[in-house]
Each structure stands twice: as C-alpha cells, then as structure tokens.
C-alpha cells in the first residue's frame, strides 16, 4: 500500500507556539533576525534551519516555541510540515 501525504507551508513573523501534529517538520529562518525554536538558535537569511523527521506512522505532537525575542521587524520563518493523509 502506498503512503500518501501532503506538504503544508506556513509563514510566521511573530512569537508564537506551534503544535506540529505532523510526521516531519522543517523550520527555515528566511528573516533578518535570529530566531529560537525551543531554545535552538537559527541564523538569519536562509542559513539556519531545523528539521525533525518521523518514521512511517509516527506523529510529532511537540509544541514548538517560536521566539524572535523583542525584534518587531525583519522576522520571518517558514515552517514546512509533512502530513500523512491518514492523519486528516
């Protein structure tokens, strides 16, 4: 049986919590400021990224804290989520 999935891309520009509810997730810092994902610092301008991969049938239910600090401009992170279709 073939496993089918969809890719969801989210852009975030302010401090927030994000519940993953997916099989795999990638954070890519495309802004001009350092951002922390659960206290892991990601460098700006597309250099910093964090990827978490799951095995077949696994769902990551982590709540990720996205923290740009006190910066109010230049914040942008892209979140790419892989959602198995059976999850939906």
Q: Would you state the pLDDT for residue 65?
A: 98
Q: Would you state the pLDDT for residue 21?
A: 93
Q: Would you state the pLDDT for residue 1?
A: 61
Side-chain-facing half-sphere of 16: CA atoms under 13 Å: 12
pTM for this entry: 0.92
Q: Which residue has the higher pLDDT, 76 or 86?
A: 76
Alpha-carbon distance values, 5 to 32, 51, 61, 83, 85 (Å):
32, 17, 17, 5, 5
Q: Are 4 and 88 in contact (CB under 8 A)?
A: no
How confident is residue 14, by pLDDT bands cut at 50, 70 and 90? very high
Q: How many residues does the chain have?
A: 88
pLDDT tens-digit readout, 31-77: 999 999 999 999 999 999 999 999 888 999 999 999 999 988 999 99
Query: Which CATH architecture fits 5-87?
Result: Sandwich (2.60)
């Amino acid at each position: 049986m073939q496993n089918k999935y969809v890719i969801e891309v989210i852009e975030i520009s302010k401090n927030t919590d994000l519940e993953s509810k997916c099989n795999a997730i990638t954070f890519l810092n495309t802004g001009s400021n350092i951002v922390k994902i659960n206290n892991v610092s990601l460098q700006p301008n597309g250099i910093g990224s964090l990827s978490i991969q799951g095995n077949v049938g696994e769902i990551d239910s982590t709540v990720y804290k996205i923290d740009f600090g006190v910066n109010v401009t230049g914040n942008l992170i892209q979140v790419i989520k892989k959602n198995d279709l059976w999850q939906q």
